[in-house]
Amino acid sequence: MKKTNILWSIVVIFAIILAFSPITILFLLSLNDSPALPLKNFPTTKWYEALFQFPGAMESIVNSLMVAGVTTLVAVVLGICGGYALVRTRFVGKSFFTGLLLMPMVVPYIIMGISLLSFLLRLGMEPSLITIIIGHILLAIPYATLVLTSRFIGFNISLEEAAMDLGADRLTTFRKITLPLIMPGIITAAILSFIISWEDVAMAVLLAGSQQTAPVFMFSLVTKLPKFVPILTAMSTIMFAFAIVLAILMRKAERFSIS
């Protein structure tokens, strides 16, 4: 019995190290004099100062926020429409639609990315933030729609009927009854869509022009200009902090809307 316990501890500790140590060390190194051990002149904020002066760095974070914001908005609206239609209505080609909806989830990003890229270039579009947004909406639609579909399934339709029996028109019913009831689903779909866009490297790298999102900026700097990597440690720490704040805020909003 003792022996198996020791074995288990080793496996789990190994897993914890594998999952947590890279980010912890990255954080420490962002406060270090050089991106290597041993710690020297620790802690220093010089990489954070350098980051704010580095051309394109802050701009790319703003771009990321914009791309993720637009992606979230469009994906959630399409998700509400799609989820409502899938649960409440019958239409021709429903199973084809469901299959098409799930397909982007099982096709590797590189294939979707280069397909979309060659298609958009052929249409005469230049790679820009807009092409990235188009790609990100494609990535987010299946998740947003599925989340909202499950919300509509768990929805008591008689509440809507009661409102309409009491004289509310369709729009008022939607605004006062339907929307509040599916709010938790909307928030979950929004979080998912935002995170999908915020974290995506692969699709954005393929579709980016001269305007870059933050992960694309990091990718091009890592592979092309390795001597600026320390600046990226500061940048990713800031983005990590932002993501945590966002996660907590949305968690709160989710709780608030349920109660």
Partner 1 sequence: MNPREKEASQSPKTKKIELRGILLVVPTYLWLIVTFLIPVISVLMLSFAELHPVTKNIVSFPTMNNYLTLFTNLDYVVVLLRTLLLTVAVTISSVGLAYAVAYFITFKILKNKYTILLAFQAPYIASYMMVLLAWRLLLGRSGVINSLLMSMGLTSGPIELLGYNAFSVWLVLTATWFPWLILPIFVSLEKIDRSLLEASQDLGASPFTTFLKVTFPLSLPGVFVAILFVFIPTIGEFVAPAVVGGTTGLMFGNLIYDFFLKGFRWDIGSAFAVCLLCIVILAVLVLFRKIGFEKLMESL
Q: Which of residues 69-108 bind partner 1 (CB under 8 A)?
A: 78, 81-82, 84-92, 97, 100-101, 103-104, 106-108
Q: Write the DSSP symbol of residue 229.
A: H
Dihedral angle, C-alpha 64, 67, 70, 76, nearest 10 °: -80
Q: Which stretch binds partner 1 (CB under 8 A): 43-51, 55-63, 177-185, 197-205?
A: 197-205
Residue 257 lies near partner 1 (rule: CB under 8 A):
no
* The one among 54, 70, 71, 135 contacting partner 1 by CB under 8 A: 135
Interatomic CA distance for residues 126 and 109, integer angstroms: 20
Provide the 8-state DSSP code for 226.
G
Q: Is 134 in the site for partner 1 (CB under 8 A)?
A: yes
Q: What is the footprint of partner 1 within residues 207-226 (CB under 8 A)?
A: 214-215, 218-219, 222-223
Give the type of residue at 15: A
Closest to 132 in 3D by CA, of 65, 191, 86: 65
Examine residue 42 and tell whether it contacts partner 1 (CB under 8 A).
no
Please identify, among the stretches 55-63, 173-181, 183-191, 192-200, the one whose residues bind partner 1 according to the rule CB under 8 A: 192-200
Give ∠ CA 89-152-183 in degrees, rounded to 5: 135
Contact between 38 and partner 1 by CB under 8 A: the answer reads: yes
Nearer to partner 1 by Cβ, of 48 and 240: the residue is 240
DSSP three-state, residue 184: helix
Residue 180 in contact with partner 1, rule: CB under 8 A? no
Count of residues binding partner 1 (CB under 8 A)?
Answer: 77
Contact 234, 30 (CB under 8 A): yes
Q: What is the DSSP secondary structure assignment for residue 210, as one 8-state letter?
A: S
Q: Which of 8, 42, 52, 256 binds partner 1 (CB under 8 A)?
A: 8
